[in-house]
Amino acid sequence: MKRLLSVVFLLLVGLYPLMTLAAEPVFSASDMPWDDGTAILLKWELDPKMDSLSLQKADSLGVFHEFFNEFSTQGQHVDTSLEIGDSYKYRLISYNSATGDSSVFTGSATTKAQWFDMNKLSLLIMLSLVCAAILYYIYLGRKGKDLFIRRISGLDSMDEAIGRATEKGKPILFVPGLSDLGDIQTIAALNILSPLAQKSAEYGTELLVPCRSSMVMSAARETVKEAYMKAGRPDAYREENIFYLSDDQFGFVAGVDGIMLREQPAANFFLGAFWAESLILTETGFGTGAIQTAGTGQPHQLPFFVVSCDYTLIGEELYAASAYISRDPQQLGSLKGHDFGKLLVIILVLAGVVAEILGWGWFKHFFEGGS
């Protein structure tokens, strides 16, 4: 990661000169820089005594027509939707409506299409760096290199919850979200289900998995079955404990609520994608006194999970936990690549704040990309 970072800085140092602009004449027409060649940039700086203006463009016969008249002493206007490679003539008349003073400026420009949008240079550099880092780490992961990511502390609470369920002789409830199998959150939830099922098999605790879609159900069955095999307890696997409830959002919630009230599970896990129903689920779970662990990438539901659950995996933590458990090189590599991007942000922002304090506006301007 250090090597990649030093490359970034070498690149950035060379970009300083791009940011300076020439002094303005009173009225100028010029090709809009770095565009597709369909616009002309008109800039002006007028006598402060003036209070109105009329910006005009010549048609094919050379007759000027007004197309813009919003007054500002110092301003600009972009004339768009022009033909590539054509020349255009402009006239600016500024006047004072009270005294009748006026002055006329003319200017002309030819449109030109460019090969590269220089405003996006910083975007290109940064995006390439992040993409390169992601691909690099996926490559490393596939080659079998052990990529380190830290253990997510939420996973530790899993053992405690299972322990408590065993002690009480009550089942564990695991809801893999309300999304279908195409959602990475559901996949992450199923990845986390695997070690959980293995533990519950070892302890001999019952595991209930209600599902909203039949696709998720079959995937969950596969996962749990495999985990029970690994734990050496294939006999304890009960297929009917992993079941389809209902496609309907609130119908599903009512069903899970019913299970919580009837079976009184000692530990609830809500991992995956949840919407407005999150609250109804955790409220009921709280009422039954279960230890609750939740995790979702849906930002609007996180507050409710945090206040009503004992442990919450926040946003990306869910994916990180899944990558940690599955050791899938694609997931791990991607995550490491994102981490590189985060490190980059932290360092660049710190540098940017210092630059701003020192008054070096160009640094920030480079990342803004101009317009």
Partner 1 sequence: MTTFGIWLAAFFTLSIFSFLYKDNPFYKFAEQVFVGLSASYWLVYTIYNILIPNLFNKLGTDFRGNLVLLIPMTLGILMLMRMVPKLQWLSRYPMALMVGTSAAMSMLLSFKSDFMSQMAATMVNPFSFSSPVDIVGSILLIVGTLCGVFFFYFSKKQEGIYKIPSKIGIWFLMVSFGASFGYTVMARISLLIGRLDFLLRDWLHIIK
Partner 2 sequence: MKMPERTVIERRIVFLVLVLAVMLPMLFPLGLKTQSTPLTQKVYDLIESVPAGAPVIISFDYDPSVITEIQPMALALIEHAWQKGHKVIATAMWPQGPQMADMAFNDVKEKLKSQNPDAKLPQYGEDYVNLGYKPGGLVTIQGMGRNMKAIFPSDITGKKYEEISLLEKVRSLKDIRYVISLSAGDPGLRDWIMTAKGKFNVPVAGGTTAVSTPGFLPYVSDQDQLHGLLGGLKSAAEYELLMGYEGSASRGMNPQSVAHILILLLILFGNIRAARKRKMDKLALEANNG
Partner 3 sequence: MKRNVPLVVAFISGLVILIGGFIPREPFPSIESTLIDWFMIISGFAILLGQASLLHLNITRVKNKMPNWPYYLSGLISFALMLIVGLLWGMEQTPGLLGQGEGVVKFLGAKPFDYLFTNAFIPLSATMFSLLAFYIASAAYRAFIIRTFESNLLMITAVIVMLGRTSFAQLLTGWIPDKFSFLRLPELTNFIMEYPNTAAQRAILISAALGIVGASLRIILGIERSYLGGGK
Cβ proximity to partner 3: between 31 and 54 the closer is 31
Q: Work out how close the CB of 213 gets to partner 1 at its nearest, in angstroms, rounded to a whole number.
A: 16
Q: Which of 267, 313, 312 is nearest to 291 (CA)?
A: 267
Q: Work out how close the CB of 35 gets to partner 2 at its nearest, in angstroms, rounded to a whole number.
A: 10
The item of partner 3, partner 2, partner 1, none sharing an interface with residue 350, based on CB under 5 to 8 Å by kind, is partner 1
Quick check: 116 and 36 in contact, CB under 8 A?
Answer: no
Q: Cα angle vertex 183, ends 180, 184, to 5°? A: 135
| Three-state SS letters, 108-121 | EEECCCCCCCHHHH
Per-residue tokens: 301? 């539901």
Cβ proximity to partner 3: between 200 and 292 the closer is 292
Chosen residue from 23, 299, 358, 359 binding partner 2 by CB under 8 A: 299
Q: 214-230 and 184-203 are packed helices; what angle lies between their axes, rounded to 10 degrees?
A: 40
Quick check: 277 and 270 in contact, CB under 8 A?
Answer: no
Chosen residue from 330, 350, 353, 368 binding partner 3 by CB under 8 A: 330
x-or-dash string of contact with partner 3, 263-302, rule CB under 8 A = -------------x--xx-xx--xx-----------x---
Hey, CA dihedral for 163, 222, 233, 229, is it positive or negative?
Answer: negative
State yes or no: residue 120 binds partner 3 (CB under 8 A): yes
Chosen residue from 18, 19, 135, 261 binding partner 2 by CB under 8 A: 261
Q: Work out how close the CB of 67 gets to partner 2 at its nearest, in angstroms, rounded to a whole number.
A: 9
Quick check: 305 and 278 in contact, CB under 8 A?
Answer: yes
Cβ proximity to partner 1: between 84 and 123 the closer is 123
- How many residues bind partner 3 (CB under 8 A)? The answer is 48
For residue 351, give Cα distances in angstroms to 8, 10, 12, 171, 346.
13, 14, 12, 53, 9
Continuous segment of H or E residues that includes residue 89:
strand 87-95
State yes or no: residue 345 binds partner 1 (CB under 8 A): yes
The item of partner 3, partner 1, partner 2, none sharing an interface with residue 87, based on CB under 5 to 8 Å by kind, is none
Cβ proximity to partner 1: between 49 and 300 the closer is 300
Within 152-191, which residues bind partner 3 (CB under 8 A)? Answer: 182, 184, 187
Q: Name the CA dihedral angle for 106, 110, 111, 115, rounded to a multiple of 10 degrees.
A: -130
Residues that bind partner 2 (CB under 8 A): 70, 78, 80-81, 261, 284, 287-288, 299-300, 368, 371
